[in-house]
Amino acid sequence: MPRAKKVLAATAGVAAAAGLALAVRGRGRSEAEEPEERATGDARVDGTRVYHVVPSGEAWAVELEGSTRPVSRHGTKREAVDAARAAAHAAAPSGLVIHRADGTIQRRHAYDAR
């Protein structure tokens, strides 16, 4: 199992065991506009899709939680984040988890249904 998925699985288990949940209502805001406390909670909401931006070799991939294949691959993290944000926004209610190059979680976002 790739390192990013191991870290993700461990983090998801800890979050589930702790019973953490947070729904962020600030759709359409940039990361700079999101208050830090909104970006640090668990992005998973029961019955929603959760997209992950993860390192993939020299590139970045957008993965859908529970899927075995990436949704898309991108040359830069910025491109992957933009694509994942658009997909998560379109699939609302959904979540977005952005990982660092070492596989640890950098930010989490939740998108409410419109």
Instruction: In whole angstroms, give the CA distance from residue 40 to residue 90.
Output: 22
Omega before residue 35 within 30° of 0, cis: no
Spell out the domain ranges in the chain: 3-111
Residue 48 pLDDT:
82
3-state class (DSSP) for residue 56:
strand
pTM beyond 0.75, yes or no: no
- Ranges assigned E (strand) in 1-114: 49-56, 59-64, 70-74, 94-99, 105-111
In this prediction, residue 5 carries a pLDDT of: 54
Q: Determine the pLDDT at residue 64.
A: 95
Digit-by-digit pLDDT tens for the chain (114 residues) are 555 555 455 445 444 433 333 333 333 444 443 333 334 344 444 568 999 999 999 999 999 999 899 999 999 999 999 999 999 999 999 999 999 999 999 999 999 887
